[in-house]
């Protein structure tokens, strides 16, 4: 039996991480890997100590805000942001790492990822943010879109 690719293996784990999401709109998971070792994980949801949208409802949904717009009107952190924060909180260097994300990062996350020294992003689902793709390309971050079968 042939072993699955590392990308498929890590994307499968990323999907499991996404299942912890407390977002009512989209479950997103992220992991940061370097040298085939998982360094941190993150999923989208409210900051520690705050009530989650599962408990109080979605502010963006109640205001009819489309996906990809007005990020500041959300209680939650993005999965990528949580993975980056976990690295900082625990003093883990992620420079040169690969980000596995269930969905293409938004422009806010793209800027943080570029500044963190991430070299590659592997993702599956699309996200309506062309500027994020342009900025990542300009920063020299390699983007690899996987289909759902690996």
Interatomic CA distance for residues 120 and 143, integer angstroms: 6
Q: Is residue 32 part of a domain?
A: yes
Interatomic CA distance for residues 105 and 127, integer angstroms: 7
Q: Is residue 119 part of a domain?
A: yes
Prediction pTM value: 0.92
For the stretch 22-52, pLDDT in tens is 999 999 999 999 999 999 999 999 999 999 9
CATH of the domain at 34: 3.40.140.10
- Which residues, 6 or more positions from 133, have their beta carbon under 8 angstroms from its beta carbon? 104, 110, 143
Q: Is residue 74 part of a domain?
A: yes
Q: Is residue 1 part of a domain?
A: no
58 is in an annotated binding site: no
Q: Is residue 13 part of a domain?
A: yes
Residue 108 structural domain = 6-145
Number of compact structural domains in the chain: 1
Q: Which residues are catalytic?
A: 80
Paired tokens of 77? 């952190």
pLDDT at 1: 59
Q: Is residue 34 part of a domain?
A: yes
Q: Is residue 150 part of a domain?
A: no
Q: Is residue 117 part of a domain?
A: yes
């Amino acid at each position: 039996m042939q072993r699955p690719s590392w990308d498929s293996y890590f994307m499968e784990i990323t999907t499991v991480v996404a299942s912890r999401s407390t977002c009512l709109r989209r479950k997103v998971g992220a992991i940061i890997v370097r040298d085939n070792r998982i360094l941190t994980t993150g999923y989208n949801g409210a900051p520690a100590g705050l009530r989650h949208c599962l408990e109080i409802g979605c502010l963006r949904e109640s205001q009819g805000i489309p996906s990809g717009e007005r990020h500041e009107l959300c209680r939650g952190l993005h999965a990528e942001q949580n993975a980056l924060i976990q690295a900082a909180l625990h003093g883990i260097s992620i420079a040169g790492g690969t980000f596995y994300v269930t969905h293409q990062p938004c422009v806010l996350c793209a800027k943080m990822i570029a500044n963190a020294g991430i070299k590659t992003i592997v993702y599956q689902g699309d996200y309506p943010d062309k500027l994020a793709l342009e900025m990542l390309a300009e920063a020299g971050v390699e983007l690899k879109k996987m289909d759902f079968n690996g």
